[in-house]
Amino acid sequence: MNRLGRGHRDKLQQFMTITGASEKMAHQYLKTSEWSIEGALNFFYSQPQVKSSADKKRLEELYNRYKDPYCDMIMADGISLLCNDIQVDPQDIVMLVVSWHMGAATMCEFSKQEFISGLQSLGVDSLDKFREKIPFMRDELKDEHKFREIYNFAFDWAKEKGQKSLALDTAIGMWQLLFAEKDWPLVDHWCQFLQARHNKAISRDTWAQLLEFSRSVEPALSNYDAEGAWPYLIDEFVEFLTENGIVQHK
């Protein structure tokens, strides 16, 4: 281990700090991942033994710190305190990733099971480890498969309890947050179009299809197929873009 270069030693220390793994285990995961810290962490957290690395007593203490005094849940005030403790803005998209890891059913709420099992899956049992994990969770948004999972998760997470559709204002806020990560240049036009022409709640199908549209259709609409199986709302959006001279599409 002492023969490692400074860069490798730094990665070794970072991996050990984040995961709580031994030096030997850290070296094994990093070597297997060709010294990619992100690859090593992904590999480590895909293993079934990771949950045991989080101390359940510490997790209980963390939960009790944020639990609402009037119910057995972490509510908005507790999440605000958690964000302050881990030095993250409550509006930061990484909190959506945190909620995804926890399998949270509702925005601004964590049940005890969601909170504890989510942190177990991340190998987190202290605020220091939580803070160390933030860059890893940000990097997950760069993974196309994970981004799709987080995007689809956001629909149920953000909608009101008992509703099948997502309120328009909420959907617009979520789209602006999510697509800021992907630099989709049409997102603001999409939101303007919805407010001008649609002004209704967003269905699950529209939510899912917009991600496919943003990924498969060029911003200039050069490969847009009017005969394709897009929802009518996306077809109307294309008309909106061309009618207003935003995109020149033939």
Thinking of the domain 163-244, which architecture would CATH place it in?
Orthogonal Bundle (1.10)
Q: How far apart are CA 144 and CA 31, in angstroms?
A: 24
The answer to whether the 56-142 and 163-244 domains have the same CATH topology is yes
CATH for the stretch 6-46: 1.10.8
Q: What is the pTM of this model?
A: 0.78
Largest CA distance in the chain: 66
Supply angle C-alpha 92, 76, 195, rounded to 5. Answer: 60
Residue 250 corresponds to which tokens in the numbers above?
């033939």
226-238: per-residue pLDDT in tens?
Answer: 888 888 899 999 9
- For 33-37, 113-117, 148-152, 170-174, which range has the lowest pLDDT when averaged over its residues? 33-37
Lookup result for tokens 């993974």 = 143
Q: How far apart are CA 12 and CA 41, in angstroms?
A: 11
Task: Decide if 74 contacts 115 (C-beta within 8 A).
Answer: yes
φ, ψ for residue 3, nearest 5 deg: -85, 0
pLDDT at 249 over 70: no
Q: Is 125 exposed, middle or buried (0-12, 13-18, 19+ CB in 10 A)?
A: buried
Task: Decide if 17 contacts 132 (C-beta within 8 A).
Answer: yes
pLDDT at 104 over 90: yes
Domain ranges of the chain: 6-46, 56-142, 163-244
Task: Decide if 164 contacts 204 (C-beta within 8 A).
Answer: yes
pLDDT at 51 over 80: no
Task: Decide if 159 contacts 194 (C-beta within 8 A).
Answer: no
- For 45-49, 85-89, 115-119, 211-215, which range has the lowest pLDDT when averaged over its residues? 45-49
CATH H superfamily, domain 56-142: EF-hand (1.10.238.10)
Mean pLDDT to the nearest integer, 123-128: 91
pLDDT at 10 over 90: no
Q: How far apart are CA 30 and CA 15, in angstroms?
A: 8
The alpha carbon dihedral of 114, 120, 121, 123 has a sign of: positive
Put residue 109 in one of left, alpha, beta given phi > 0 → left and psi -120 to 50 → alpha: beta
